[in-house]
Chain A
């Protein structure tokens, strides 16, 4: 699972309690279908988040009466989202800066390379 998976799952749970299949669907909606996970790997991730105390789980029932496990964000989970946000902003800003520089260099190096 990508590094973005944990913050994404936590953020989806910040919208309200949810369960595995709905979380996967929400990831698809949020990313416009661009992010496609191997569905089954979400569950080990959810269990890890639970062990870390970032989410809580309880067994309930689906609309059709099937046993279903629901997850809810905890207060430490909310804190973790704030941390993730700060980290991802930093990463995004750093990447943007790097790409800006690369674009400048590409602009100057590209045509020169073509002429040679």
Chain B
């Protein structure tokens, strides 16, 4: 048994493990147990004269399809999916300080403070329309760069891109309330998000896998953001209700303190959730994309009808065009995301 063969067996087992761990219902210890079985069987087969590769194939085949195993585990552990969502942990990896929630919270707090400080310095609508994404995503970019430090080149590129976007967002002279300002507000976040994705993929930005991961990250991040926003909205409403019952008007505090801090913090927390609870949302995100794609297609068709009925395209008012713009952005996101959703059982086993 030569050394390269051994490492290739370990690689194959690790690959198999990775696929198994991604299944929601099977946690790290279950996979440990299955791996012991797999390796035990491989040892018995190689002792009987099979090559390691043959032994691996036979043992995996005898173990059964990952779908079937995960399905049985899911039936046995139907509560575990929720446990994962609430308590976290699975797939359990060796403790890694940079993967921990504490660090994410620290970056989230930093992001929140940055947003709060900016509100204190300049709270004008125009400034915020131009810069909201830059301020909101700054801490996220910092977090991603810190979480997986890229090479110097990519690091520098990320920072330069961020600076360029910031300059572009603020350089163009625009009058307050103009449509051009709205268009800027709509597109600067997209550019900033591209910088975020560069920070996310790091050195892998040139590989297909890295880019696919970046698109997946986007979709899952949007879902977590929406979930956090719903929770935050309810909390804010309750806070406002309680304080008005107590005779205090909390609207100002909410607007200038809680909202910027919470929103900027949620940006980082959502990214951390995407990374650490991946197996949970992975089952949900493609489903959501599939549900909303036809609905948005219908909306867009309705929009086209409105445009056609409304007369010549040249006479369209800017508002309609802006809505078209927004819908197109969402459509691109949905299509990209549906494309990258891993087909069930792809390359499994």
| Chain B: CB-nearest residue to A48 | B76
Cβ contacts A61-100/B at 8 Å (1 or 0 each): 0101011110000000000000000000000000000000
**Number of B residues contacting the other chain (C-beta, 8 Å)?**
21
Q: A21-B37, A21-B41 are in contact. Are A38 and B64 (CB under 8 A)?
A: yes
Q: Chain B contact residues: over half helix, strand or loop, or mixed? A: helix
Cβ contacts A11-31/B at 8 Å (1 or 0 each): 000000001110010000000
> Do B63 and A39 touch across chains, with their CB atoms under 8 A apart?
yes
> Do B33 and A69 touch across chains, with their CB atoms under 8 A apart?
yes
Bound complex: CA of A41 vs CA of B40, how far in Å?
Answer: 16
Bound complex: CA of A105 vs CA of B235, how far in Å?
Answer: 76
Please name all residues of chain A whose beta carbon is closer than 8 Å to the beta carbon of B69 when the two chains form the complex: 40-41, 43-44
B30, B37, B62, B73, most chain A CB atoms within 10 A: B37
Q: Which of B29, B33, B75 contacts A20 (CB 8 A)?
A: B33
A51 interface residue (CB < 8 Å to B): yes
> Do B40 and A44 touch across chains, with their CB atoms under 8 A apart?
no
**Which 10 pairs from chain A and chain B are nearest by CB?**
A38-B64, A44-B72, A40-B69, A40-B64, A21-B40, A40-B63, A44-B76, A39-B63, A21-B37, A69-B33
| Minimum CB–CB distance for A76 against chain B, Å | 18
Q: A19-B36, A41-B69, A47-B76 are in contact. List 9 more A-B contacts (CB 8 A).
A: A21-B37, A40-B37, A43-B69, A44-B75, A47-B30, A51-B76, A64-B43, A66-B39, A69-B33
Please name all residues of chain B whose beta carbon is closer than 8 Å to the beta carbon of A51 when the two chains form the complex: 76
Bound complex: CA of A39 vs CA of B37, how far in Å?
Answer: 9
Please name all residues of chain A whose beta carbon is closer than 8 Å to the beta carbon of B72 when the two chains form the complex: 1, 40-41, 43-45
B32 interface residue (CB < 8 Å to A): yes
| Minimum CB–CB distance for A38 against chain B, Å | 4
A19, A43, A51, A69, most chain B CB atoms within 10 A: A43
Bound complex: CA of A39 vs CA of B61, how far in Å?
Answer: 9
**Number of A residues contacting the other chain (C-beta, 8 Å)?**
21
Cβ contacts A47-60/B at 8 Å (1 or 0 each): 11001000000000
Identify which of residues 46-101 in chain B touch chain A, using a CB-to-CB cut-off of 8 Å: 62-64, 68-69, 72-73, 75-77
Q: Which of B30, B34, B36, B68 contacts A62 (CB 8 A)?
A: B36
> Do B63 and A38 touch across chains, with their CB atoms under 8 A apart?
yes
| Interface pairs (22), CB distance under 8 Å | A19-B36, A20-B36, A21-B36, A21-B37, A21-B40, A21-B41, A38-B62, A38-B63, A39-B62, A40-B68, A41-B72, A43-B33, A43-B34, A43-B37, A43-B69, A44-B73, A47-B30, A64-B43, A66-B39, A67-B32, A67-B36, A69-B32
| Minimum CB–CB distance for A3 against chain B, Å | 15
